[in-house]
Structures are given as structure tokens and as C-alpha cells.
Structure 1
């Protein structure tokens, strides 16, 4: 199973984590809910759990738990900064549809 973190996303994650305690990592998870059935969650985590997969890029670490990983396999995490605002975007090849804001999806 694989997840790709773009250079733009890694740069933004690095900026965010620079304000956190040493060793902090970004955790991406998939939870039930949202307007399309599942939703992405982004949290700062000080610890890595035994079932976490760690994606390392340009000095940052992104954690994904074992359950969420099955919903994110093949996904790309990017950071968008445009006229509509700034946000992390996940391009998920498993998603059959998503809401307008891009934070929830269905499979």
C-alpha cells in the first residue's frame, strides 16, 4: 500500500510542524461521516502507534493508521494555495465521489 506526499504538501507540513514540539508528526485518518460517507481528518501527533504506516518526505513524517490506510491506498496528498484559499487535498483513486469541499468522499 502506498501514499504519495507532494513536495508542496511536505513544505507546508514542515511549516506547521516547526511550531510544534520536537518530534511531532502529521496524522491523516479516515473517519465515518461527512456529507459523502467518509471524511479525512488531519491531526498533529507526538507519537507513532504500532499499527501506523509512516511516510517520510523532505524531513517530515506523515502517519496513517492501519484501518485508514486501506481507504487511502494509492492516494496523493497535496497542498493547494489559490484564490479559493489554502488546504490540503487528497486525490484518492478509490473515491467514487466527493463533496464540493473535498473533505469527504464515498467508495
Structure 2
């Protein structure tokens, strides 16, 4: 993924890109993008949200890996700048996970964080 060092960015792992592409194919909608949001709540203050979307809003920024797109609104991007979105399958299950360099603390399940 190529970005200007001045612009906020996130990166998608190959595993995340493959999973988004597979899920979009299962839905029969190859243009679906992974929408990542941050909202107040969770046990650490902020909470990650994942959904699928086929539209880009005026305040969204898109990121691409292997032809797969992720979309993030401007406010969430401020909290996610420099993060990597991954898809992991382990004994606890399968899920998208975020490695966020801005987080000072996170909960045990990895879905909420503090700054």
C-alpha cells in the first residue's frame, strides 16, 4: 500500500484482504468494502466496529490491498492512524483484529481500546 507520509493511513493484511473478498463473493456483491468504525463504549473507552458497505461517503478515506478495499470515516481514522487490520483464525474463533499503535490499553477480547 502506497501512501504519503503526511496522510493518515491504515493497512490491510493479506489475510484480511482475502477474507473480505471471500465474504463479498459469498454475498454475491464483489464491490463490498470493509467499513471500519470507532465509537465510544466498550470496556476501555472506544470500540471497533466492522461492517460491509458498497458506498463511500464524502468524509471517508479508502485503503486497498490486493484489489480489496476498506473504508474509514475521517473521525475514526484519526484514532486508527497507522493501524493494521488483520484477519485471524485461532482457538478463540475467527475475527478481524486491529493492531493500533495509538492505543494505550485494550481489553482482553481486543474489540475496545483506550488512548
Common fold by TM > 0.5:
yes
Count of residues paired in the alignment = 107
1:38 to 46, 62, 69: 46
Let me know the Cα RMSD of the aligned residues: 0.9
Residue in 2 aligned with 1:105?
A: 113
Residue in 1 aligned with 2:3?
A: none
Q: Give the TM-score, by structure 2 length.
A: 0.89
Q: Which runs of 4+ in 1 moved over 3 A?
A: none
- 5+ residue gaps, structure 1: none
CA distance in 2, matches of 1:80, 1:19: 19
1:14 to 18, 21, 24: 21
Q: Which stretch of the first structure deviates more once superposed, 65-74 or 11-20?
A: 11-20
- 5+ residue gaps, structure 2: 1-7
The yes-or-no answer on 1:90 pairing with 2:85 is: no
CA distance in 1, matches of 2:96, 2:53: 17
CA distance in 2, matches of 1:8, 1:45: 19
The yes-or-no answer on 1:64 pairing with 2:72 is: yes
CA distance in 1, matches of 2:64, 2:20: 11
How far did 1:18 drift?
1.1
Q: Give the TM-score, by structure 1 length.
A: 0.95
